[in-house]
C-alpha cells in the first residue's frame, strides 16, 4: 500500500526516504531485511511498499531487489532512522560508502558505534578488541579527513550522563575538533599528517584506559573522596601507560594523552607534577578536553555544567594551555550560535 505522503519533487523523496546503496543492501540479512523497503514508481510518481519487515523474501525477490537497488529506485523510510543507525553502526565502514546519509544521521551512527565499541574495550582491554576499536576509529578519521567541518555534528552530540565509555567518546569528538582547529592552514597537507591525526584519535579515545583497573567503589563514590582514594585513582595514568605497552601501542602522542592528561600548566597536576614547558602538545590538549568533558557531564558528585560556562571557566584558568582553552571557548560558542533558530 502506498504511504499517504505524495512525492512531488526529488527533494521530497530525499526528505522522507534514504536511497539504498548496493553496499547497504548487501549488509542486510538477505532474506529478512531489518526494516521496510520501498520502491519509487516513476510512472505514478509515488513510493510504494516493496517489503515489510517480518516477511521473508524469496530467492527470486532477493535477486530482483539487488537489481532494483542497482537501478537506484529502492528506498527506506527516514522514520526508520533508529533501526538504520543501529544496523549501520555494526558495520561502520558503510558510512564512507553511502552517499545518501545526511551528516547528522552519520553523526548518530558514529555515536552509537563508538560508544558500544569503547564500552567493549573498557570491559575487555585486550588486543583483539583494540584492533576493532582501531578499525572503527580509522573510519572516523577518514570521514573527518575528507571534511574537517564534519567534527561539528559530532561535537553537538555530547553525552551528558557519565560512563567511562561515554566520557571517552566525548573527549574523542571534542579533542579531534580542537586538534584540527588548532593547526594553522590545512592540516591535511602534507598527507603524512594523517598518521598523527589517527594517533591523536586513539590517544583521546583511550586516554582513561587505566581507569578500567580502578575499583568501581572508588570511581562511583558519591561522597567526598579521602586522600587515600584520590591517590589510588591517580594511579590510572601510569596504569594506562603500562597497559599501552602490553597492548603494543607505543607511539609518543598516544602515551602523552594517557600519561599527561592530569598534568597542569602550574605544576599542580599528576603524576609527574609537570609544568608548562614539560607538557607535550598532545598532553595539554587532552588535559583541557578531559576537564571540559568532565564539567559538562553529570557525575556522581556533580550536576552537568552548561557548555559555554565550562569552556569560559577553562579559558580563564591558568592550569590549562591558554591558547587552546580560548580556542575551545570560541569553538563551543560557534556551535551554540549555529544552533540558534
Footprint of Fe ion (CB under 5 A): 208, 290
User: Least Å distance between CB 172 and Fe ion?
Assistant: 11
Nearer to Fe ion by Cβ, of 255 and 290: the residue is 290
Nearer residue to Fe ion within complex by CB, 87 or 261: 261
148 vs 172, which CB is nearer to Fe ion? 172
Residue 271, preceding peptide bond in cis (omega within 30° of 0): yes
**Cβ-contact 290, 270 below 8 angstroms:** no
Q: How far is the CB of 314 from Fe ion (least distance, A)?
A: 14
Residue 135 CB contacts under 8 Å (≥ 6 apart), including other chains: 92, 93
Please state the separation of Cα 186 from the chain's center in Å: 22
Please report how close the Cβ of residue 228 comes to Fe ion at its closest, in angstroms. Answer: 18
Q: Closest separation between CB of residue 293 and Fe ion, Å? A: 7
DSSP string, 248-312: T---HHHHHHHHHTT--TTS--SSS---GGGS-HHHHHHHHHHHHHHHTSBBTTBPPPPHHHHHH
CA-to-CA dists, residue 133 to 112, 206, 259, angstroms: 13, 10, 20
Q: Nearest distance from residue 240's CB to Fe ion, in Å? A: 8
Q: Which is nearer to Fe ion, 188 or 232 (CB)?
A: 232
CA quadruple 298, 303, 305, 306: dihedral sign: positive
CA distance 170 to 36: 33
Q: What is the 3-state secondary structure (H, E, C) of 154-178?
A: HHCCCCCECCHHHHHHHHHHHHHHH
Residue (263 or 290) nearer to Fe ion, CB: 290
Residue nearer to Fe ion on the CB measure, 85 or 287:
287
Nearest residue (CB) to Fe ion, 76 versus 289:
289
Q: Are 69 and 16 in contact (CB under 8 A)?
A: no
How far is it, in rounded angstroms, from Cα 36 to Cα 239? 48
Cβ proximity to Fe ion, 98 vs 208, nearer residue: 208
Min dist. Cβ of residue 42 to Fe ion (A):
53
Specify which residues 80 forms β-bridges with: none
- The distance of closest approach from Cβ of residue 289 to Fe ion in the complex, given in angstroms and rounded to an integer, is 9
332: cell is 563551543
Q: How far is the CB of 236 from Fe ion (least distance, A)?
A: 6
Q: Hey, CA dihedral for 113, 218, 235, 303, is it positive or negative?
A: positive
Closest CA to 270 of 240, 315, 314: 240
Amino acid at each position: 500500500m502506498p504511504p499517504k505522503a505524495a512525492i512531488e519533487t526529488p527533494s521530497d523523496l530525499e526528505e522522507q526516504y534514504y536511497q539504498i546503496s548496493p553496499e547497504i543492501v548487501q549488509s542486510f540479512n538477505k532474506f529478512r531485511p531489518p526494516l521496510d523497503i520501498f520502491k519509487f514508481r516513476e510512472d505514478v510518481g509515488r513510493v510504494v511498499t516493496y517489503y515489510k519487515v517480518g516477511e521473508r523474501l524469496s530467492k527470486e525477490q532477493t535477486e530482483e531487489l539487488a537489481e532494483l537497488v542497482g537501478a537506484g529506485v529502492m528506498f527506506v523510510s527516514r522514520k526508520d532512522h533508529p533501526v538504520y543507525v543501529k544496523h549501520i553502526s555494526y558495520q561502520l565502514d558503510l558510512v564512507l560508502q553511502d552517499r545518501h546519509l545526511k551528516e547528522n544521521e552519520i553523526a548518530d551512527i558514529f555515536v552509537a558505534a563508538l560508544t558500544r565499541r569503547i564500552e567493549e574495550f573498557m570491559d575487555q582491554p585486550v588486543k583483539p578488541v583494540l584492533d576493532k576499536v582501531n578499525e572503527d576509529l580509522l573510519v572516523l578519521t577518514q570521514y573527518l579527513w575528507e571534511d574537517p567541518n564534519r567534527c561539528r555534528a559530532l561535537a553537538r552530540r555530547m553525552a551528558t550522563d557519565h560512563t567511562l565509555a561515554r566520557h571517552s567518546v566525548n573527549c574523542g569528538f571534542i579533542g579531534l575538533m580542537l586538534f584540527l582547529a588548532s593547526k594553522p592552514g590545512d592540516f591535511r597537507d602534507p598527507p603524512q599528517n594523517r598518521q598523527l591525526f589517527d594517533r591523536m584519535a586513539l590517544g583521546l579515545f583511550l586516554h582513561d584506559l587505566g581507569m578500567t583497573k580502578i575499583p568501581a567503589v572508588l570511581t562511583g563514590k558519591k561522597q567526598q573522596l579521602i586522600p587515600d582514594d584520590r591517590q589510588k585513582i591517580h594511579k590510572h595514568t601510569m596504569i594506562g601507560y603500562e597497559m599501552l605497552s602490553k597492548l603494543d601501542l607505543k607511539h609518543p602522542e598516544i602515551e602523552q594523552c594517557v600519561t599527561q592528561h592530569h598534568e597542569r600548566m602550574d605544576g599542580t597536576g599528576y603524576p609527574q607534577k609537570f609544568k608548562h614547558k614539560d607538557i607535550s602538545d598532545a598532553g595539554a590538549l587532552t588535559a583541557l578536553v578531559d576537564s571540559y568533558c568532565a564539567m559538562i557531564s553529570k557525575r556522581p558528585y556533580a550536576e552537568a555544567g552548561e557548555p559555554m560556562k565550562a569552556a569560559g571557566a577553562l579559558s580563564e584558568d591558568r592550569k590549562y594551555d591558554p591558547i587552546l582553552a580560548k580556542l575551545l571557548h570560541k569553538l563551543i560558542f560557534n556551535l551554540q550560535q549555529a544552533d540558534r533558530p
